[in-house]
A and B are shown apart, each in its own frame.
Chain A
Amino acid sequence: MMPAAVLLVCAIIGPLRAAERDSLSIGITQFPATLNPNIDVMAAKSYVLGLSLRPFTVYDADWKLTCLLCTELPSISNGLAVPVDLPGGKKGIDLTYTIRADAKWADGAPVTTEDVRFTYDVGRNPQSGVSNAELYRRIGGIDIKDARTFTLHVDKLTFDYAAIQDLMLLPAHIERDAFADPAQYRLRTLYNTEPTNPGLYNGPYRVSEFVGGSHILLEPNPHWAGPPGRFRRITIRTIENTAALEANLLSGTVDMIAGELGLPLDEGLAFAKRHGDAFQILYKPGLVYEHIDLNLGRPALADLQVREALILGLDREAISRQLFDGRQPVAASFVNPLDLGYTDDVPRYRFEPIRAEALLEAAGWGKGGDGIRRNAEGQRLSFELMTTAGNRSRELVEQVLQSQWRRIGVDIRIKNEPARVLFGETLPHRRFDMAMYAWISSPENVPRSILHSSEIPSEANGFVGQNATGYANPEMDRLIDALEIELEADKRKALWAEAQRLYATELPSLPLYFRSDVFVLPKWLSGVRPTGNQSPTTLWITDWSAQP
Chain B
Amino acid sequence: MIRYTAIRLVEIAAILVLLSFIVYALIGLMPGDPIDLMRSSDPRMSAADAARLKALYGLDQPLLLRYAGWARQALAGDLGYSRLFSVPVWGALLPRLGNSLMLMLPSFVLAFALALGLGTAAARRPGSRLDAAVNLFCFAGISLPTFWLALILILVFAAGLGWLPASGIATAGINDAADRLRHLVLPVATLTLVSAASYTRYVRAAMREALAQDHIRTARAKGASEARVVLHHALRSALVPVTTILALSFGGLVSGALVTETMFGYPGMGKLIFDAVMGNDYNLALAALLLAAAVTMAANLAADLAYAWLDPRVSYR
- Complex Cα spacing A244 to B149, Å: 11
B166 adjacent to chain A (CB < 8 Å) = yes
A266 adjacent to chain B (CB < 8 Å) = no
- Complex Cα spacing A247 to B166, Å: 7
Contact, CB under 8 Å: A10 / B160: yes
A465 adjacent to chain B (CB < 8 Å) = yes
What B residues does A209 contact at CB under 8 A? 172-173
Q: How far is the CB of A528 from chain B (nearest CB, A)?
A: 20
What B residues does A441 contact at CB under 8 A? 43
Q: How far is the CB of A370 from chain B (nearest CB, A)?
A: 34
Contact, CB under 8 Å: A253 / B267: no
B47 adjacent to chain A (CB < 8 Å) = yes
What A residues does B22 contact at CB under 8 A? none
Contact, CB under 8 Å: A253 / B167: yes
Beta-carbon nearest neighbor of B41 in chain A: A41
Partner of A423, one of B37, B52, B172: B37
Contact, CB under 8 Å: B31 / A421: yes
- Complex Cα spacing A239 to B186, Å: 15
Contact, CB under 8 Å: B85 / A420: no
List residues of A (447-502) whose CB comes within 8 Å of B's CBs: 449-450, 461-462, 464-466
What A residues does B50 contact at CB under 8 A? 464
B38 adjacent to chain A (CB < 8 Å) = yes
Q: How far is the CB of B255 from chain A (nearest CB, A)?
A: 16
B5 adjacent to chain A (CB < 8 Å) = no
A133 adjacent to chain B (CB < 8 Å) = yes
Contact, CB under 8 Å: B87 / A241: no
List residues of B (164-219) whose CB comes within 8 Å of A's CBs: 165-170, 172-173
What B residues does A33 contact at CB under 8 A? 84-86
B21 adjacent to chain A (CB < 8 Å) = no
List residues of B (141-176) whose CB comes within 8 Å of A's CBs: 147, 150-152, 154-156, 158-163, 165-170, 172-173
* Majority SS at the chain A contact face: mixed
Question: Among B31, B41, B161, which residue has the most Cβ atoms of chain A within 10 A?
Answer: B31
- Complex Cα spacing A127 to B266, Å: 34
Contact, CB under 8 Å: B265 / A239: yes
B51 adjacent to chain A (CB < 8 Å) = yes
Contact, CB under 8 Å: A214 / B156: no
**Interface flags, A141-169, vs B, CB<8A=1, else 0:** 00000000000000000000000001000
Interface size class of B (residues with CB under 8 A): 35 or more
Contact, CB under 8 Å: B36 / A6: no
Question: Among A214, A216, A461, which residue has the most Cβ atoms of chain B within 10 A?
Answer: A214
B81 adjacent to chain A (CB < 8 Å) = yes
List residues of B (245-268) whose CB comes within 8 Å of A's CBs: 262-267
B45 adjacent to chain A (CB < 8 Å) = yes
B53 adjacent to chain A (CB < 8 Å) = yes
What B residues does A442 contact at CB under 8 A? 43-44
B2 adjacent to chain A (CB < 8 Å) = no
Contact, CB under 8 Å: A244 / B151: yes
A538 adjacent to chain B (CB < 8 Å) = no
B225 adjacent to chain A (CB < 8 Å) = no
- Complex Cα spacing A186 to B86, Å: 7
Partner of B36, one of A214, A424, A440, A461: A424
- Complex Cα spacing A17 to B32, Å: 45
Q: Would A134 and B49 be within 8 Å (CB), given that A7-B160, A41-B41 are in contact?
A: yes
What A residues does B165 contact at CB under 8 A? 251, 253
A108 adjacent to chain B (CB < 8 Å) = no
Q: How far is the CB of B256 from chain A (nearest CB, A)?
A: 11
B33 adjacent to chain A (CB < 8 Å) = yes
Q: How far is the CB of B50 from chain A (nearest CB, A)?
A: 7
- Complex Cα spacing A226 to B154, Å: 40
- Complex Cα spacing A215 to B41, Å: 23
Q: Would A126 and B52 be within 8 Å (CB), given that A33-B85, A235-B172, A247-B158 are in contact?
A: yes
**Interface flags, A41-66, vs B, CB<8A=1, else 0:** 11100000000000000000000000
Residue ranges of A at the interface with B (Cβ–Cβ < 8 Å): 2-3, 6-7, 9-11, 13-17, 25, 33-34, 36, 39-43, 126-127, 129, 131-134, 137, 166, 183, 186-187, 189, 192-193, 208-209, 211-217, 233, 235, 237-241, 243-244, 247-248, 250-253, 419-421, 423-426, 428, 439-442, 445, 449-450, 461-462, 464-466
12 other contacts beyond A6-B160, A251-B159, with CB at 8 A cut-off? Answer: A9-B160, A131-B45, A187-B86, A211-B170, A212-B96, A213-B96, A213-B272, A237-B168, A241-B262, A419-B40, A441-B43, A442-B43
Residue ranges of B at the interface with A (Cβ–Cβ < 8 Å): 30-34, 36-53, 56, 81, 84-87, 92, 95-96, 147, 150-152, 154-156, 158-163, 165-170, 172-173, 262-267, 271-272, 278
A–B Cβ pairs within 8 angstroms, 27 of them: A3-B155, A6-B152, A7-B159, A10-B156, A14-B162, A34-B85, A41-B38, A132-B42, A166-B44, A187-B81, A192-B85, A193-B87, A211-B267, A216-B172, A237-B167, A241-B263, A243-B147, A253-B168, A420-B30, A423-B40, A424-B31, A424-B32, A439-B43, A445-B43, A464-B51, A465-B47, A466-B39
Q: Which 8 A-B pairs have the closest CB atoms?
A: A424-B32, A10-B160, A213-B267, A464-B47, A425-B31, A251-B158, A14-B161, A424-B36
